[in-house]
Amino acid sequence: MERLGPSCESRAGGAPSSPPSPHAGRVRLGGIGIDPVTERGAVRRVVEALESGRGGLIVTPNVDILAAVRRSEELRAIVLDADLVVADGAPLVWAAKAAGTPLPERVAGSDLVWSLSAAASERGLRVALLGGTPDGAARPTERAADVLEARYPGLKVVGAWCPPMGFDRDESQWRALVERVETAAPDLVYVGLGFPKQERVMARLRAVAPRAWFLGCGASVDFIAGYRRRAPKWMQRTGTEWLFRMLSEPRRLARRYLRDDVPEAVRLLAEAARHRRARR
């Protein structure tokens, strides 16, 4: 397995066949479309695409991402152009139900990294990790790769890359990453750089590995590596995982969650209620 760089930053072969439209059947929420799929259905869609020689990009919107999308046409275009868009945030699932266009379940990026890795180990797919938060000399991508390989014997982790700060703006650093991606030829790439950096990086890397699937997974690399704690299962199920994250990192997250995300969640639910009344 290849490793890259002494530090890391926190937060696409031949031409594939033409895929069907990724936008058909999406549920509209907050100005974007969400695919009405379960976690199992999302994994199946990715595996089927890989078997057909098609790559893609997965975006996992939550309330924070919706708030950012409202402020930026560029970010909205990135989300709209994704091949698979799943509801990472519980308020999106609640709003879809309130609007009368329900989504089957929450599909968190932090869960998809595990279920996609399980599928990859069964099918001999090649996985790479990019990102994570530095912890002194430790590299969370390397630790996360070790954890995934231990959990899923036979999993082929072909890259654990932790590029230095500003790598996406430095031509030599970017070229180094591109060369590593080209050499590794991964089928799945988990990119944990935080929105919107990870989505911008994934969009650029699609040209390098057009047959690969890229998953924007935020803090998931740190969760897997054990450098951050994820909320207990009951908080994940009840939609209060954001509260756990905020209390775990109050200096970094409290202002963002309380200033941007709570009002966005209220706005989203109000829009959903108005939409349902209009339909009636």
Q: What is the pLDDT of residues 13-54, one digit of tens each?
A: 444 444 555 576 899 988 899 999 999 999 999 999 999 999
The pLDDT of residue 25 is 87
In the predicted structure, residue 11 carries a pLDDT above the cut 50:
no
Mean pLDDT, residues 89-118: 95
- 3-class SS of residue 33: strand
pLDDT, mean of residues 216-240: 88
Rounded Cα gap, residues 129 and 97, in angstroms: 34
In 10 A of CB 151, how many CB atoms?
13
Q: Residue 8: CB partners within 8 Å, gap ≥ 6?
A: 131, 132, 133, 134, 139, 140, 141, 162, 163, 164
pLDDT tier for residue 259 given thresholds of 50, 70 and 90: confident
pLDDT in tens, 187-205: 999 999 999 999 999 999 9
Length of the chain counted residue by residue: 280
Q: How many CA atoms lie within 13 A of 55 on its CB side?
A: 24
Q: What percent of the chain has pLDDT over 70?
A: 89
**CA–CA separation, 59 and 39 (whole Å):** 13
Residue 128 pairs with which residues in a beta bridge?
159, 189
pLDDT at 136: 52
Confidence of residue 208 (pLDDT cuts 50, 70, 90): very high
Helix axes 63-71, 90-98, angle to 10 degrees: 80
Report the sign of the C-alpha dihedral through residues 34, 37, 39, 42, in that order: negative
Task: Give the angle 243-247-248 at the CA atoms, nearest 5°.
Answer: 115
- Residue predicted with more confidence, 179 or 248: 179
Q: For tokens 């797919």, what's the residue? A: 125
- Note the pLDDT tens digit of each residue in 113-160: 999 999 999 999 999 999 987 655 557 899 999 999 999 999 999 999
Residue 180 has pLDDT above 60, yes or no: yes
CA nearest to 106, candidates 242, 246, 277, 250: 242
Stated pTM of the model: 0.86
- H-helix or E-strand spanning residue 264: helix 262-279
